[in-house]
């Protein structure tokens, strides 16, 4: 554990909490992509199946359980409890164009050709693009609520901090995971435009919008 991984985990947790509180307090999931949340639920399920086979630490297990639980809670709020507020017309990204290629890539490029390893690799690849339906939705509507942008910013910071975590682990532990690093870079790049708009608009009290 190092400071970059810890702050990355906390940023990730903050993003999840911000999203859940936004939906619960407003009693609405307007502006939130249900498809992105389904993808994140798939990511955590595939990645943390090792909960059934191994124990690393109480912290590790607790975070895994929290991520899985919150992911499915978010999906439930969007598609069940507050379904009437869900904007399915704008949440129209074809997720099969992400899941199928990512699944094929995970089978072809992985560390070890075993079920759990392929599922872990699949989750890493899928997480790198899981935010695309949300960004696509913002692009279609032309704007995003401030609280939604805070969620996206924390999510992007989590990924950026994890890149520093990989650098730290390489220099101080000799650990190098090319799959995780490349996927993390892809995910961080996807957030670059958003980071720019967040700093230049949201932090100045303006509403964020993406080109339609």
- For residue range 24-64, list pLDDT tens digits in order: 999 999 999 999 999 999 999 999 999 988 899 999 999 99
Beta bridge partners of 208: 144
Handedness of CA 148, 194, 137, 70 (dihedral sign): negative
Give the tens place of pLDDT for each residue, 118-176.
Answer: 999 999 999 999 999 998 998 888 777 877 888 999 998 998 899 899 999 999 999 99
pLDDT given for residue 211 in this prediction: 52
DSSP secondary-structure letter at 142?
A: S
Whether the Cβ atoms of residue 67 and residue 16 lie closer than 8 Å to each other: yes
DSSP class of residue 2 equals: -
Q: What is the DSSP string of 54-121?
A: ----HHHHHHHHHHHHHHHHHHHIIIIITGGG--TTT----THHHHHHHHHHHHHS-SS-SHHHHHHH
Tell me how far apart the alpha carbons of residues 125 and 192 are, in angstroms, rounded to a whole number.
18
pTM of the model: 0.92
131 touches 193 (CB < 8 A): no
């Amino acid at each position: 554990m190092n400071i970059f991984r810890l702050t990355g985990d906390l940023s990730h947790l903050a993003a999840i909490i911000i999203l859940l509180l936004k939906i619960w307090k407003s009693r609405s999931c307007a502006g939130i992509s249900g498809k992105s949340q389904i993808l994140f639920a798939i990511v955590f399920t595939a990645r943390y199946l090792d909960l059934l086979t191994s124990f690393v630490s109480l912290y590790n297990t607790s975070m895994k359980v929290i991520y899985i639980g919150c992911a499915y809670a978010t999906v439930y709020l969007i598609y069940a409890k507050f379904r009437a507020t869900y904007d399915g017309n704008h949440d129209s990204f074809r997720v099969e164009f992400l899941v199928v290629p990512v699944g094929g890539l995970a089978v072809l490029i992985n560390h070890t050709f075993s079920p759990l390893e392929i599922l872990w690799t699949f989750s890493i690849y899928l997480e790198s693009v899981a935010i695309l339906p949300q960004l696509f939705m913002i692009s279609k509507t032309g704007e995003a609520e401030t609280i939604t942008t805070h969620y996206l910013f924390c999510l992007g910071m989590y990924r950026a901090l994890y890149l520093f975590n990989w650098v730290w682990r390489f220099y101080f532990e000799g650990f190098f995971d090319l799959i995780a690093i490349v996927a993390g870079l892809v995910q961080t790049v996807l957030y670059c435009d958003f980071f720019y708009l967040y700093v230049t608009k949201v932090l100045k009290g303006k509403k964020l919008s993406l080109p339609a």
